[in-house]
Structures are given as structure tokens and as C-alpha cells.
């Protein structure tokens, strides 16, 4: 698992290529994802507020909505119901801790292939699968 830090230029490019204006708020939100692990909107707000003091919480919600709609950011469902966000764009699954709110990424192309082949053979009547996500529930040691 290689962590690739995005430069401001790369972030600006991905925003711009989605047909969005490149604003300091949007760039800072994307940058915040480099520091935070599946953060909630409020955590992003606190982080970004450091560099943009006038920031409004509403703006963070707006930006996250826009980025989710463009597919740049993904929502992560949690047991508590509080929404969390994920800027990792490659397909992956999640490990959920049963005794805390920790969520970690799980990349496994081999498993993805197994699942893909399984569901190619075994179609579900009346439902067309577009994406398969695993929730691995358990405990971190």
C-alpha cells in the first residue's frame, strides 16, 4: 500500500477537470483528506479552518456534496449513522471496528476478481450490480 501525496497542482487539476471552479476552500478540503482518516464533515471543517479562518461549515457540506456527485469523494456508511468521507478513488473495501468508530481501507484486487467472476456466473434476477463493497466487521489488534 503506497501512499501518494497529491500536490496542490494535481488537486486543482482534478477539480478543474470535473468542470468545477478551483477555489481555495475546495483545494483545502481535498488537502485535508491527506491528513484525516475517513473524516466526518466537522473534522474536515476544523482542519480546513486553520488555513481558511473565514470558512463556513455550510461550505464544507456544499463542497463534499459536489465532490461526491463528481465521484472525486465517496461517502462511507457507518454504524452510528454519522456520515464519513473518503478521497481514495481506487476501488476498495472497509474494515470497521466493532468497539470503536475506526474505519480502515482494505484493498484486494484478487478478491474483487473472485467476486466479479462469481456474479458474472450467478446473476441476481431483477438487479443489475454496478459495484460491490465489503464491510469487514471486526476488531483491530
Partner DNA sequence: TTTCTAATTTGTATTGATTCCAGTTTAAAA
Partner DNA sequence: TTTTAAACTGGAATCAATACAAATTAGAAA
Rank residues 19 and 127 by Cβ distance to its own copies and give the closer one: 127
- H/E stretch holding 58: helix 57-69
25 sits near DNA (criterion: CB under 7 A): yes
Is 88:105 a contact under the CB 8 Å cutoff? yes
Q: Which helix (H) or strand (E) holds 103?
A: strand 103-106
- How many residues lie near its own copies (CB under 8 A)? 31
Q: Does 65 bind DNA (CB under 7 A)?
A: yes
Of the candidates 90, 62, 96, 58, the residue with the CA atom closest to the CA atom of residue 74: 90
Say how far apart CA 33 and CA 15 lie, in whole Å: 14
Residues near 126 by beta carbon (within 8 Å), at least 6 away in sequence:
none
Least CB distance to Mn ion at residue 56 (A): 6
Indicate which of Zn ion, DNA, Mn ion, none lies near residue 105 (CB less than 5 to 8 Å, by partner kind).
Zn ion
Among 10, 13, 16, 34, binds DNA (CB under 7 A): 16
CB of 72 to DNA, least distance (A): 12
CA–CA separation, 120 and 129 (whole Å): 10
Of 120 and 141, nearer to its own copies (C-beta) is 141
135 touches DNA (CB under 7 A)? no
Candidates 7-15, 44-52, 56-64, 123-131: pick the segment binding its own copies (CB under 8 A): 123-131
**Residue 105 in contact with Zn ion, rule: CB under 5 A:** yes
Which parts of 38-57 interact with Mn ion (CB under 5 A)? 54
| Cell reading at 106 | 482494505
Amino acid at each position: 500500500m503506497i501512499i501518494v501525496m497529491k500536490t496542490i497542482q494535481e488537486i486543482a487539476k482534478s477539480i478543474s477537470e470535473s468542470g468545477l471552479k478551483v477555489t481555495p476552500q475546495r483545494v483545502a478540503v481535498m488537502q485535508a483528506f491527506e491528513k484525516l482518516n475517513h473524516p466526518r464533515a466537522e473534522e474536515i471543517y476544523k482542519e480546513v479552518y486553520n488555513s481558511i479562518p473565514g470558512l463556513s461549515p455550510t461550505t464544507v457540506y456544499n463542497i463534499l456534496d459536489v465532490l461526491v456527485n463528481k465521484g472525486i469523494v465517496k461517502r462511507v456508511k457507518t454504524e452510528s449513522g454519522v456520515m464519513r468521507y473518503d478521497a481514495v478513488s481506487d476501488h476498495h473495501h472497509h474494515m470497521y471496528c466493532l468497539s470503536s468508530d475506526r474505519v480502515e481501507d482494505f484493498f484486494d484486487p484478487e478478491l474483487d476478481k473472485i467476486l466479479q467472476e462469481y456474479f458474472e456466473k450467478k446473476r441476481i434476477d431483477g438487479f443489475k450490480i454496478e459495484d460491490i463493497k465489503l464491510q469487514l466487521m471486526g476488531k483491530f489488534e
